[in-house]
Amino acid sequence: MLRLFKGLKPYWLTIVGTLLLIFVFTLTDLNLPNLMSDIVDTGIVEGDISYILRVGGLMLLVALVGTAASILANYLGAKVAIGYSRDLRQQVFEKVESFSLNEFNSIGTASLITRTTNDITQVQQVILIMLRMMVQAPIMIVGALIMSFEKDVELTKIIIYIIPILFISIFLIARFAMPMFQLVQKRIDKLNLVVRENLTGTRVIRVFNKQKFEEDRFNEANLDLTKIAMKANRLMGLLMPLMMVLLNVSIVIVMWFGAQRVDLGELQVGNLMAIIQYIGQIMFSLMMLSMMFVMIPRAQASAVRINEVLNMQPIINDPKTSKTSDLHGVVEFKDVSYEYEGAENPAISGISFTAKPGEILAIIGGTGSGKSTIVNMIPRFYDAAKGQVLVNGIDVRDMSQEELRQKIGYVPQKAVLFTGTIRDNIQYGLEGATDEQIQHALDVAQAADFVSKKKEGLDSEIAQGGTNVSGGQKQRLSIARAIVRKPEIYIFDDSFSALDFKTDAKLRAALKEETKEATTIIVAQRVSTIMDADRILVLNEGHIVGDGTHDELVRNCDIYKEIVDSQLKGEEE
Give dist(CA 9, CA 74) in Å, integer.
Answer: 19
Beta-carbon contacts of residue 72 (< 8 Å; ≥ 6 apart): 21
CA 148 from chain centre, in angstroms, equals 49
Q: For ligand ADP, which is the closer residue by CB, 321 or 367?
A: 367
Burial of 164 (0-12, 13-18, 19+ CB in 10 A): exposed
Residue 390 bridge partners (DSSP): 332, 395
Q: Residue 365 binds which entry of ligand ADP, Mg ion, none, with Cβ cut-offs from 5 to 8 Å by kind?
A: ligand ADP
Amino acid at 262: V
Identify which of 322, 497, 476 has the alpha carbon closest to the alpha carbon of residue 407: 322
290 forms part of the interface with Mg ion (CB under 5 A) = no
> CB 289 → Mg ion: shortest distance, Å?
58
> CB 241 → ligand ADP: shortest distance, Å?
52
- E strands, 116-183, in order: none
344 forms part of the interface with ligand ADP (CB under 6 A) = no
Q: Find the binder of ligand ADP among 372, 437, 519, 520 (CB under 6 A).
A: 372
Q: Residue 368 binds which entry of ligand ADP, Mg ion, none, with Cβ cut-offs from 5 to 8 Å by kind?
A: ligand ADP
Stretch that binds ligand ADP, among 35-43, 171-179, 360-368, 548-556 (CB under 6 A): 360-368
Stretch that binds ligand ADP, among 118-126, 155-163, 369-377, 388-396 (CB under 6 A): 369-377
Q: How many CA atoms lie within 13 A of 170 on its CB side?
A: 21
439 forms part of the interface with ligand ADP (CB under 6 A) = no
Give dist(CA 353, CA 389) in Å, integer.
Answer: 10
347 forms part of the interface with ligand ADP (CB under 6 A) = yes
379 forms part of the interface with ligand ADP (CB under 6 A) = no
368 forms part of the interface with ligand ADP (CB under 6 A) = yes
Stretch that binds ligand ADP, among 368-376, 395-403, 480-488, 545-553 (CB under 6 A): 368-376
Taking residues 400 to 419 in sequence order and writing x for each that binds ligand ADP by CB under 6 A, - otherwise, the string is: --------------------
Give dist(CA 447, CA 415) in Å, integer.
Answer: 14
Give dist(CA 433, CA 426) in Å, integer.
Answer: 8
Q: Residue 343 binds which entry of ligand ADP, Mg ion, none, with Cβ cut-offs from 5 to 8 Å by kind?
A: ligand ADP
Chain position whose Cβ is nearest to Mg ion = 372
Distances in Å between the Cα of 528 and the Cα atoms of 496, 511, 541, 550 are 11, 15, 22, 10
Query: Contact, 518 vs 327, CB < 8 A?
Result: no
Rg (alpha carbons) of the chain, rounded to whole number? 36
Residue 133 bridge partners (DSSP): none
Q: How big is the CA angle at 431 (ends 427 and 436), to the nearest 5 degrees?
A: 60
Beta-carbon contacts of residue 75 (< 8 Å; ≥ 6 apart): none
Binding-site size for ligand ADP (CB under 6 A) equals 12
Q: Find the binder of ligand ADP among 2, 207, 264, 343 (CB under 6 A).
A: 343
Stretch that binds Mg ion, among 81-89, 375-383, 412-420, 432-440 (CB under 5 A): 412-420
Amino acid at 371: K
Q: Which of residues 413-452 bind Mg ion (CB under 5 A)?
A: 413
Find the largest Cα–Cα distance for the chain: 121
> CB 323 → Mg ion: shortest distance, Å?
30
Q: For Mg ion, which is the closer residue by CB, 83 or 366?
A: 366
Stretch that binds ligand ADP, among 144-152, 269-277, 340-348, 401-409 (CB under 6 A): 340-348
Q: How many CA atoms lie within 13 A of 102 on its CB side?
A: 18
Q: How big is the CA angle at 551 (ends 547 and 555), to the nearest 5 degrees?
A: 80
Q: Find the binder of ligand ADP among 365, 412, 466, 472 (CB under 6 A).
A: 365
Stretch that binds ligand ADP, among 43-51, 180-188, 239-247, 371-379 (CB under 6 A): 371-379
Q: For ligand ADP, which is the closer residue by CB, 11 or 382?
A: 382
> CB 369 → ligand ADP: shortest distance, Å?
4
> CB 291 → ligand ADP: shortest distance, Å?
44
Taking residues 100 to 139 in sequence order and writing x for each that binds ligand ADP by CB under 6 A, - otherwise, the string is: -----x----------------------------------
Give dist(CA 479, CA 494) in Å, integer.
Answer: 11
Q: Find the binder of Mg ion among 372, 437, 473, 520 (CB under 5 A).
A: 372
Distances in Å between the Cα of 145 and the Cα atoms of 92, 159, 494, 510 are 44, 9, 76, 87
Q: Residue 257 binds which entry of ligand ADP, Mg ion, none, with Cβ cut-offs from 5 to 8 Å by kind?
A: none
Q: For ligand ADP, which is the closer residue by CB, 148 or 349?
A: 349
Residue 409 bridge partners (DSSP): 490
Stretch that binds ligand ADP, among 65-73, 163-171, 296-304, 365-373 (CB under 6 A): 365-373
Binding-site size for Mg ion (CB under 5 A) equals 2
373 forms part of the interface with ligand ADP (CB under 6 A) = yes
Identify which of 498, 456, 502 has the alpha carbon closest to the alpha carbon of residue 477: 498
Distances in Å between the Cα of 340 and the Cα atoms of 249, 348, 525 are 65, 10, 23
The H or E element that residue 409 is part of is: strand 408-411
Residues of this chain that interact with ligand ADP (CB under 6 A) are 105, 340, 343, 347, 365, 367-373
Residues of this chain that interact with Mg ion (CB under 5 A) are 372, 413
